[in-house]
Amino acid sequence: MSKKVAVYRREHFNAAHRLYNPQWDDATNDAVFGKCNNPNFHGHNYELEVKVSGIPDVQTGYVMDMKLLSDLIKEHVLEVFDHRNLNKDVSYFEKLNPTAENIAVVIYEILRKQLHKKFDLQVRLYETPRNFVEYPAS
């Protein structure tokens, strides 16, 4: 059995987006993405749940300081995504469709670079309370 403990931190951001594939014509985009393809955009309150697993430090009893984890998420994710148009304002999605799946993978890649390799990382993203994704899938 793993001796690792996982710590989770939840943050949120609001953003506009539109789902479409620029290589397809309008009819195909409408057929695949439906009302999510509104060219004027729609939006969501995204809830972001970041999971970091490791062995608690003997001196502090912390896997890592949650305040530090929260600050990392704020600096590297919320500053870039919050109150933005994902398609137009966020460079990661210049050529990538901002589905929940792709947003989660992007956030994982961003945070992976900020965390010591001794930690395991997983990202869960709620697009609505009824639709959410997780990467990597457990």
Q: Does 92 bind a second copy (CB under 8 A)?
A: no
Answer yes or no: 116 catalytic: no
Can you tell me which residue has the tokens 């506009």?
16
Q: Could you say which of 61, 94, 95, 116 contacts a second copy (CB under 8 A)?
A: 61
Q: Does 118 bind a second copy (CB under 8 A)?
A: no
- Asked if residues 126 and 132 have their Cβ atoms less than 8 Å apart, the reply is yes
Shortest reach from residue 84's CB to a second copy, in Å:
6
| Residue 93, Cβ density class (10 Å: 0-12 exposed, 13-18 middle, ≥19 buried) | buried
Cα–Cα distance for residue pair 42/36, rounded to 1 Å: 7
C-alpha distances (whole Å) from 7 to each of 33, 47, 56, 62, 67 are 35, 16, 10, 9, 12
Q: Could you say which of 30, 76, 92, 101 contacts a second copy (CB under 8 A)?
A: 101
Where in the sequence numbering do the catalytic residues fall?
Answer: 36, 83, 127
Contact residues: a second copy, CB under 8 A: 1-12, 14-17, 19, 21, 32-36, 38, 40-45, 51, 53, 56, 59-63, 65-67, 82-85, 88-89, 96-102, 104-105, 120, 128-138
